[in-house]
Amino acid sequence: MNRRSVLRPASTHAMSVRRPSRLLFVLATLCFMILFIRILPGQSVMNLTPSFARKQPIAFRPSSFDWSTVQEHFPVQPDSLTPLPTGHKKLPKVQHDFPSYEHDEHTEFRRSKVKDVFLKCWNSYKAQAWGKDELRPISGGGKDTFGGWAATIVDALDALYIMDLEDEFRHAAAAAVEIDFADTEDTAVNLFETTIRHLGGLLSAYDLSGEEALLRKAKELGEMLYHAFDTPNRMPGFWLDFEAAKSGTQLGGTRDPAAGPASLSMEFSRLSQLTGDPKYFDAVHRVKKFLQDTQESTSLPGMWPTHLDFQHMSASGSHGYSLGALSDSLYEYLIKTYLLLGGADDSWRQMYARAMEVVEKHLLFRPMTPRKDDVLFSGNTWVRVDEGGRVDLDAEVQHLGCFAGGMFLLGGRTMDVSRHLDIGVRLTWGCRWGYSVMPTGMMPEIFGLFACRGNEDLLDFCPWDNERWRAHTLAPTLEKGWRNAREPAYQLRPEAIESMFVLWRISGDESLRDAAWDMFESIMQATETDLGNAAIANVTVKRGQAEKLDSMESFWLGETLKYFYLIFSPPGLISLDEYVLNTEAHPFKIPR
C-alpha cells in the first residue's frame, strides 16, 4: 500500500464530517500559541500595538561626549525659566472637509511612482553613502556637508514612516540613535541647519512612531544645541563653536541672518513639550522677546531686516527685507509656533499678523504678463534711509520664497482672514506658473519679473507694456514678462510643491494634483540619474539638455518627495489639523 492511499480519507462523506472539527482544533491551538508568545506579562490582548511598535525597541547609544556635563557660564536660574504657556485654545479647523473622498487607482498610481523614486534614491544612498550627509547622485559615494552626522538618514526618518516602509524605518532609526554628535571633523556646527534637520527629524520620527530611543537622541542633541544660548545676553550665534561654548567665550552675531537664531522656536518648543524641561522653550522665548521688542523700531516697521545684531539686540542696522534667503522661516515660524503651542501664547499670532500687513504692502507684487496671469510673487524691498526712507521694491523672486503661499493659506485659515487666503492661492499658483513657462518645466533658483505699476489693489490686473519689457529684459528668449533668470539652477527644492500641498489640503481643489503631477514629471525628466536625482545647472535650456550637478541634498528625500507623496495620499495622512510641519517638512503633533 502506497503512502498516498494511506493519507487519503476513507470517503468524501467522512471528510465532510471530520474536517471542520480538526481545523477548529488546529486554529484554536495556533491562536493560543500566538497569544502566549506575544502577550508579555501584565499586557492584555487589547494593548497589543501596531506592527511598527511591536518589534524589539530600538537601542539608544549615547554620544562619546555628554554636553550636560558642561558648566554654563551665563546660566538662567531655575526660578527665572519661562514655562510653556498653558490653557490651549480650540484652534480653527485648517483642513478642507473631504466627506466623499475616494482614493482611486489613478491617484494611487501617482503616489506609487513617487514612492518608487524615493526608494531608488534611498537604496542608492544605503549602498553608496550610508552614514554620510548626502549621496553624490552622478559619481556615487557620499559627502559630508552638515558635520558628517548622516543628515539624509535623519531627514528621511519620518518620510520612511509615512510611506509605510517599516523595515527601512527601523533600520534608519537604529542608525540615527547611534550617531555620535561628538564625532565630527568640524569645529563648529550651523545651529539653524542642525536644528531643523537633525533635531526636527528626530522629534518628528518620535512623534510618529513613539520610539523612545529617538526622543533620547533628540534630547542629547538638544542639550548640545542649547549651549549655543550660553552667551552674556542669552542670544545665540549663527554657529555653535564647540570650544567657545566650553570656554564661555561665545557671543551673538552682530550681522547674522535673521532666519538663523529666529527659526528655532518650533523644535525647541516641541522638545520642551515632550521632555517636560522648560529650558528649551525658555531659550527661544527670549529670542521671540527680542523680535517682539524690535518689530516696530526697524526701518520698515512691522518687519525685520534680513540681518540682525543679536549681540547688541538691535534690528536697525540693516535695511533689506525679504521672504527669501536669510529671513524666510522667521515669518513662517511665527504662525506655526502659535499653532504648536495650541494658541496659548497669542503674541506669536499678533507678530505674524503685523508682519504680513507690511509684506502685503511692500513685498508682494503682481507680475506684468501679456496674458494677465492671475498670480502673485514676493520680491525684495530696500529702505533708502539716506533718501528719506524711500521704500523700493525689486521684483526679484527666489524659489525659496515659494513657501509663502502655504504660509498665507495656513495663516489665513488660522486667523479667519479671507484676503490672506486669496493671496495664498495666487502666490501658490504664481510659483506653479513659474514652473510651467520654463522650457524644462522647472522654475529657476532666482529670477526677475516686472511688477505692475500703480495698482490701487494688489489683486488688480495691469495692462501689458511691450515697450517696457523690450527695453529692460535680459532674457528675450524666455516667456514675455521675464526680466532675467539670474540664477537659473534648480536644486531639487521643495517650496513650490509644499504650497501646492497646503493649498490642496485647505481647498480640496483636485486640479492641484494634476498640476503637481506635471511638476513631478518635469523634475524627473530633467534630474533623474542612474543612482537617484541630481540638481541641474540651468532650467532655461531645452528639455533634455540641462546639465546635471553632482548634488542631492537631504531635503530631496526629507521634503520634496515627501510633499509629492502626501499630495497623492488620502487627506487623513498627516492632517493639518493634527500636525504642524517645520521648515524641513518634519511634522510635529499639535498638543490637544
pLDDT at 55: 76
Provide the β-strand partners of residue 240. 189
Q: Is 495 a catalytic residue?
A: yes
In angstroms, the CA 293 to CA 314 distance is: 10
User: pTM of the prediction?
Assistant: 0.90
Q: What single-letter amino acid sits at 33?
A: M
In angstroms, the CA 309 to CA 237 distance is: 10
Which one from 144, 193, 550, 577 is the annotated catalytic residue? 193
Nearest CA-CA partner of 443 in 536, 376, 323: 536
Q: Is 553 a catalytic residue?
A: no
Which one from 256, 495, 498, 584 is the annotated catalytic residue? 495
In angstroms, the CA 444 to CA 428 distance is: 15
Helix, strand, or coil here: 179?
A: coil
Nearest CA-CA partner of 211 in 175, 180, 181: 175
Domain 118-138+150-589 class, CATH top level: mainly alpha
Q: Is 309 a catalytic residue?
A: no
In angstroms, the CA 253 to CA 250 distance is: 9
pLDDT at 335: 98
Nearest CA-CA partner of 452 in 380, 528, 512, 393: 393
Exposed/middle/buried for residue 231 (C-beta within 10 Å: 0-12, 13-18, 19+): buried
In angstroms, the CA 32 to CA 274 distance is: 38
In angstroms, the CA 156 to CA 45 distance is: 33
Which one from 158, 445, 553, 559 is the annotated catalytic residue? 445
pLDDT at 52: 57
Provide the β-strand partners of residue 307. 257
Q: What single-letter amino acid sits at 550?
A: D
Which one from 211, 256, 328, 345 is the annotated catalytic residue? 328
What are the pLDDT tens digits along the chain (592 aa)? 333 332 222 333 333 333 334 444 444 444 444 433 333 333 322 222 334 555 788 999 999 999 999 999 999 999 999 999 998 889 999 999 998 899 999 999 999 999 999 999 999 999 999 999 999 999 999 999 999 999 999 999 999 999 999 999 999 999 999 999 999 999 999 999 999 999 999 999 999 999 999 999 999 999 999 999 999 999 999 999 999 999 999 999 999 999 999 999 999 999 999 999 999 999 999 999 999 999 999 999 999 999 999 999 999 999 999 999 999 999 999 999 999 999 999 999 999 999 999 999 999 999 999 999 999 999 999 999 999 999 999 999 999 999 999 999 999 999 999 999 999 999 999 999 999 999 999 999 999 999 998 767 888 899 999 999 999 999 999 999 999 999 999 999 999 999 999 999 999 999 999 999 999 999 999 999 999 999 999 999 999 999 999 999 999 999 999 999 999 999 999 999 999 999 999 999 999 7
Q: Is 445 a catalytic residue?
A: yes
CA distances from 361 to 224, 303, 547 (A): 41, 11, 39
> How many Å is the Cα radius of gyration of the chain?
27
DSSP state of 485: E
pLDDT at 89: 87
Helix, strand, or coil here: 362?
A: helix
Give me the half-sphere count of Cα atoms (radius 13 Å) on the Cβ side of residue 263.
29
Nearest CA-CA partner of 68 in 178, 215, 199, 224: 224
In angstroms, the CA 377 to CA 398 distance is: 9
Establish whether 583 is an annotated binding residue.
yes
